[in-house]
Amino acid sequence: MAGVFMIALDNAIISTAIPKITSQFNSLNDVAWYGTAYLLTTMSLQPTFGKIYTLFNLKWTYTVALLVFEIGSLICAVAPNSVTLIVGRAVAGVGASGILCGGLVLMSHVVEMEKRPVFMGLVGGMFGVAGVVGPTFGGLFTDSPRLTWRFCFWINLPFGALAILVILLVYKPRPRVDSGLALKQKLVLLGFESAAVLTGAITCLLLVLHWGGTILPWSNSRVWGCILGFALLLALFVVMQIVQRDRALIPRHIIKRRTIIVSMLFTFLLQMSMTSQSYILPFYFQAVKGTTARVSGLDILPYGITITVATIVSGSLITYSGYHIPWIPVREWFGYQVVGGIGYGVTVQIPYFAIQVVLDQGDIPPASAMIALCQSLGGAVGLAISQNIFQNSLRDGLAEIPGVDEQAVVASGGVGLQDIVPREFLDRVRDAFGGGIAEAYWLPIACAATAFVVSLAIEWRRIRKKEEEEVAGELL
């Protein structure tokens, strides 16, 4: 739980710090990359980590992932410019990829099936707790002249040290069945070539979303080149998975299961909705309402609190009823933060548990990695698209206001508008920010509605209690 809380806190705490970071580095155009650089490495390496956890020692692999995350956080904490910060986020994403996948595999090893929903609810609750304290602490650190936004990354180090200490001293791994493979053979099975192709495809996709319509026009040759590159690399990746069969990063017998496909799509849409909201909300509070980073962190509290409560309650209900209910009303994401937090908290863990119900133990690592990949990809795509919509709408609104330096306003990230905008135009500039945010919010609404429809296709499966399994075994 310490490892999960650390990466959850890292995601949440930076949200209220982003406006100050963009203001200090004059880097509003890089906002999307603070999240997508992290998510790019996280998602690209998920299938690889799914393989790693089936071939190598679980305990030491998880420990290495924690160390890599710590190194990435350290780079971010001392970053002198925007580029270094993005590099640090990418390194941290590598570690987060291993932590996410490893945490799910660890749970499947140490917790009985009928008890997993409660524990997954607690783990999901860590994301909720981080969502509560993260923005608040992020605002406090950012507004503090002594700590600044850099402490948002320094704080990861003690949590990482605690997680490493716990895994080394407390966790006792199961005896492993020796695969009989040499190290070289194991490395071949990791599918680094497939991971490289997947990384290239995702990079092209993110560049399209980052450049198109904001930095470069959609008609630009570089944008179209990236679109073509994404299509070709994705096609190549699919062909490689078909040809490689047992060596594939995404095993064919797993991907054929209906619950797996639906869970992947559902997770992708759900995370698109949640991530875009998390990154847009601070701009609303700081740019439109004119609050400080600290106050905006407090304003986001209802969202995080309801996610925490709903996630834990959802896990308990699954354990009690024996069913992973597929049609929890994601449509409730419409409306206020409290309702949105309930919708996300109730549904976020269901895909991870659904795959454990329908798959054998040996298939859980790669399947968990695939769900985590879709979750990360949904976050990256959702963030990039929402930022694209937001910036285009903001620039259109600012262009209609005479006597306002559009570039200066955009570069400010919405922080300290009263210092750079003439008093008589301040309300209109805030309205322009509000209009951009309103336009961007159509994305999470559409994703949530689609996710609700998709969730109806998840299989209904009852969790078999331990006693039932023993009786079934005796009858056989």
CATH of the domain at 405: 1.20.1250.20
Contacts (Cβ under 8 Å, ≥6 apart) of 128: 304, 305, 306, 307, 308, 309, 310, 311, 312, 341, 345
> What is the pLDDT, as a whole number, of residue 436?
84
Domain co-membership, 53 together with 113: yes
Claim: this prediction has a pTM higher than 0.85: no
Q: Are residues 220 and 275 in the same domain?
A: no
Kindly state whether residues 199 and 272 are assigned to the same domain.
Answer: no
| 261 and 284 housed in the same domain | yes
Give the pLDDT of residue 197.
92
What letters, b where the CB count within 10 A reaches 16 and e where it falls short, cover 187-221? eebbbeebbebbbbbbbbbbbbbbbbbbebeeeee
* SS3 of residue 212 by DSSP: strand
| pLDDT for the residue 439 | 86
Q: Write out the H or E segment, with its range, that includes residue 87.
A: helix 82-110
pLDDT at residue 468, rounded to an integer? 43
pLDDT for position 307: 54
Residue whose tokens read 């298939």? 363
By three-state DSSP, how is residue 300 classified?
coil
Q: Could you tell me if 129 and 274 lie in one domain?
A: yes
Q: What is the distance between the alpha carbons of residues 278 and 293, in angstroms, rounded to a whole number?
A: 14
User: Are 200 and 151 found together in one domain?
Assistant: no
**69-82 confidence digits (pLDDT tens):** 999 999 999 998 98
For residue 173, the model assigns a pLDDT of 72
111 and 68 both lie in a single domain: yes
Instruction: Report phi then psi at 420, rounded to 5.
Output: -120, -5
Half-sphere exposure of 244 (CA within 13 A, CB side): 18
Given this model, what pLDDT does residue 75 score?
95
- With beta carbons less than 8 A apart as the criterion, state whether 90 and 40 touch: yes
Radius of gyration from C-alpha coordinates of the chain:
22
Burial class (CB in 10 A: 0-12, 13-18, 19+), 380: buried
Looking at the structure, tell me whether residues 424 and 370 fall in a common domain: yes
Find the domain containing 313 and state its range: 2-173+182-191+249-475
Are 208 and 75 members of one domain?
Answer: no
DSSP string, 216-264: B-TT-HHHHHHHHHHHHHHHHHHHHHHHHGGG-SS-HHHHTSHHHHHHH
| Cα–Cα nearest to 433, from 217, 277, 272, 280 | 280
Looking at the fold, whether 300 and 153 belong to one and the same domain comes out as: yes
Domain count, the chain: 2
Residue 221 is predicted with a pLDDT of 92
The residue length of the chain stands at 476
The Cα 131–Cα 113 span in angstroms is 27
pLDDT of residue 322: 45
Same domain, residue pair 187 and 314: yes
- Residue ranges in the chain whose pLDDT is less than 50: 311, 314-337, 466-476
What DSSP state is assigned to residue 213?
A: T
Regarding whether 199 and 169 lie in a shared domain, the answer is no
Query: What is the predicted pLDDT for the residue at 14?
Result: 78
